[in-house]
């Protein structure tokens, strides 16, 4: 059926679905019951409507973000593609394509693995793609977080760690200023967010943003053209010839979240579009470097990430309940090695934190292969042959705290009676299904509890940085240690995603992040000044017989 209609018709329909189903803002990845009740009779064959409506009444998902991504990715891979003859896609056919896409988002789990750790790794491998598709993070925060890296975190790094001039590296590669690109992506995001939050059930949006809008700004035609090329693909750029690593491998769509057709660009995926600032300034710049310099560049971003985690505690945590010690050292330490990345003292409880940027590569992330996933987890978070990482670093810190003379410890650490080891990841995997269980199992098998009789050591907790951001409202009022112990108590097996096992950290948009909001307002004002205008969203009211692809 996919070959029966023009590629552009399918992709523009996907862009419209993304708006109609309100995917993106507030971490929404599933169409609401009200939206389902309206669209099920209009998108499904008559013989399927009654059955689907019964499922809607049970509040089961009918239309979800993964379907649209899969359909768009397959349309981009299609070769040869049907002729671009202007024909439309019937709404029932679009509904059938969405249902078919949903059925293909699955890989059978490995059965009867003899090793318990292999079984855990298999669960991680199989649930990670689903966890990513049903993202619990508001995509706009991805953009804002990276913007804060650039404007707040990097400038406050110690001089010896500021080894890269990111704006200069960016402009050398792309040919235009990073600040201007930040405002450009923000303008796109602002437009896409408004489309999704202002649409009414039943409306069919045109969905295309006219490129001519940007010509009303102070941007030059050359700047407009070059910047659009970083976020868009044209029909002439297709097909995507790279073989996918698994059913959830949407790397081409992630790199080209907009489709350009004539004078319009269509936002196929809101989350991927919002993330273009990071993918440009970090990943595309890094890939242009030679190996040794690229490794240094990634190491630099590791320092940036660690400093961002420090900044979160510094700016938001109640200091009377959470004493924050970044980069803590032993007394008279000749090696000048930190105890760990940071320690949060909550009374007599020491929360030892390691912040890790290690990104799970697509060939591992979407493979469904437990062996690859286990190797990744072990090398990045357990024990690396080249250097201590994650768990091995925390174990060394615990050993030193538990066995060193008190005089060798910082005075504020000497009263610690309980230790909570925590790994905070930049990658989503830190808060995904079964990751914490696997990492804690590896931690427990290496920990010699009998050696530290005077210290209570809790299970290891893993979380990603988005979970930490969602914990901001909690740590403004309570101890971080209480948030961690609640997560352990609510899910002793540590197998569930962090938010699913926390009483204090909800999914969706973080609350009470006033400093982030302040920075966002400054960015908005800068965008208005730089572009000379603000885009307002436009939606096209539906006519009774209007089809999704009909642009008349």
Confidence of residue 425 (pLDDT cuts 50, 70, 90): very high
> What is the residue-wise DSSP string for 337-370?
-BSSSEEEEETTEEEEEEEE-----HHHHTT--H
Asked if 460 and 164 count as a contact pair (C-beta separation under 8 A), the reply is no
Q: Is the pLDDT of residue 541 over 80?
A: no
Q: Is the pLDDT of residue 543 over 80?
A: no
Question: What pLDDT score does 191 carry?
Answer: 86
Residue whose token pair is 């940007």: 214
Q: Is the pLDDT of residue 474 over 50?
A: yes
Pairwise CA distance, residues 490 & 508, whole Å: 20
For the chain, the residue count is 552
Q: Is the pLDDT of residue 65 over 60?
A: yes
* Structure letter (DSSP) for residue 343: E
Q: Which domains does the chain have, with CATH numbers?
A: 2-103 (no CATH), 139-287 (no CATH), 311-501 (3.40.91)
Pairwise CA distance, residues 438 & 492, whole Å: 13
Asked if 535 and 212 count as a contact pair (C-beta separation under 8 A), the reply is no
CB contact set of 36 (below 8 Å; sequence gap of 6+): 56, 62, 63
Question: What pLDDT score does 351 carry?
Answer: 99
Question: What pLDDT score does 535 carry?
Answer: 45
Question: What pLDDT score does 145 carry?
Answer: 97
In the predicted model, what is the mean pLDDT of residues 484-502?
A: 98
Q: What is the mean pLDDT of the chain?
A: 93
Asked if 538 and 494 count as a contact pair (C-beta separation under 8 A), the reply is no
Phi first, then psi, for residue 15 (nearest 5°) are -60, -40
* Structure letter (DSSP) for residue 383: -
Pairwise CA distance, residues 75 & 72, whole Å: 5
Q: Tokens at residue 259, please?
A: 């489709």
Q: Tokens at residue 2, please?
A: 């996919």
- In terms of pLDDT, which residue wins out, 545 or 210? 210
Residue whose token pair is 């690109």: 181
CA 387 from chain center: how many Å?
Answer: 27
Q: Is the pLDDT of residue 90 over 50?
A: yes
Pairwise CA distance, residues 124 & 122, whole Å: 5
Q: Is the pLDDT of residue 327 over 80?
A: yes
Tens digit of each residue's pLDDT (9 = 90 or more) over 296-307: 999 999 999 999
Please name which of 467, 246, 463 lies closest in space to residue 370, comparing C-alpha atoms. Answer: 246
Question: What pLDDT score does 384 carry?
Answer: 82
Tens digit of each residue's pLDDT (9 = 90 or more) over 94-105: 999 999 999 999
Pairwise CA distance, residues 145 & 25, whole Å: 15
Confidence of residue 216 (pLDDT cuts 50, 70, 90): confident
């Amino acid at each position: 059926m996919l070959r029966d209609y023009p590629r552009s018709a399918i992709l523009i329909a996907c862009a419209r679905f993304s708006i109609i189903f309100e995917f993106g803002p507030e971490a929404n990845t599933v169409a609401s019951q009200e939206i389902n009740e309206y669209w099920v009779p209009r998108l499904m064959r008559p013989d399927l409507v009654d059955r689907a409506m019964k499922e809607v009444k049970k509040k089961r998902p009918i239309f979800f973000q993964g379907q649209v991504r899969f359909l768009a990715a397959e349309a981009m891979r299609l070769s040869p593609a049907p002729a671009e003859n202007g024909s439309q896609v019937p709404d029932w056919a679009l509904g059938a394509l969405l249902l078919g896409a949903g059925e293909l988002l699955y890989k059978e789990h490995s059965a009867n693995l003899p090793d318990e750790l292999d079984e855990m790794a298999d669960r991680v491998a199989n649930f990670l793609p689903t966890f990513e598709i049903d993202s619990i993070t508001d995509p706009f925060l991805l953009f804002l977080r990276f913007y804060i890296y650039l404007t707040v975190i990097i400038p406050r790094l110690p001089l010896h760690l500021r080894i890269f001039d990111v704006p200069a590296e960016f402009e050398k590669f792309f040919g235009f200023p990073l600040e201007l690109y930040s405002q450009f992506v923000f303008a796109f995001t602002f437009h896409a967010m408004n489309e999704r939050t202002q649409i009414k059930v039943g409306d069919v949006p045109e969905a295309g943003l006219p490129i001519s809008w940007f010509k009303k700004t102070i941007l030059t035609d050359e700047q407009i053209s070059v910047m659009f090329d970083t976020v868009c693909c044209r029909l002439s750029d297709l097909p995507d010839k790279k073989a996918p690593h698994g059913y959830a491998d949407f790397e081409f769509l992630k790199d080209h979240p907009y489709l350009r057709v004539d004078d319009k660009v269509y936002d196929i995926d809101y989350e991927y579009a919002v993330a273009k600032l990071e993918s440009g300034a970090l990943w595309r710049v890094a890939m242009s470097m030679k190996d040794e310099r690229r490794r240094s560049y990634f190491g630099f971003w590791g320092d940036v990430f660690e400093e961002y985690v420090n900044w979160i505690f510094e700016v938001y945590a109640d200091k009377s309940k959470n004493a924050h010690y970044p980069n803590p050292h032993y007394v008279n330490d000749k090696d000048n090695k930190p105890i760990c990345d940071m320690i949060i003292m909550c009374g007599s409880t020491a929360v030892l934190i390691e912040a890790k940027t290690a990104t799970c590569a697509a060939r591992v992330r979407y493979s469904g292969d437990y062996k690859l996933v286990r190797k990744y987890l072990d090398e990045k978070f357990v024990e690396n042959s080249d250097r201590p990482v994650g768990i091995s670093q925390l174990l060394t810190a615990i050993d030193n705290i538990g066995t060193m003379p008190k005089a060798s410890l910082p005075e504020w650490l000497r009263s610690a009676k309980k230790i909570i080891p925590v790994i905070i990841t930049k990658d989503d995997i830190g808060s995904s299904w079964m990751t914490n269980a696997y990492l804690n199992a590896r931690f427990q098998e290496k920990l010699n509890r009998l050696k530290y009789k005077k210290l209570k050591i809790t299970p290891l907790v893993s979380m990603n940085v988005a979970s930490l951001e969602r914990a901001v409202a909690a740590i403004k009022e309570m101890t971080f240690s209480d948030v961690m112990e609640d997560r352990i108590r609510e899910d002793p097996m540590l197998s569930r995603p962090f938010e699913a096992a926390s009483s204090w950290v909800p999914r969706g948009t973080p609350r009470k992040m006033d400093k982030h909001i302040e920075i966002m307002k400054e960015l908005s004002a800068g965008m208005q000044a730089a572009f000379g205008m603000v885009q307002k969203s436009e939606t096209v009211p539906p006519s009774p017989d209007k089809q999704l692809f009909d642009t008349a």
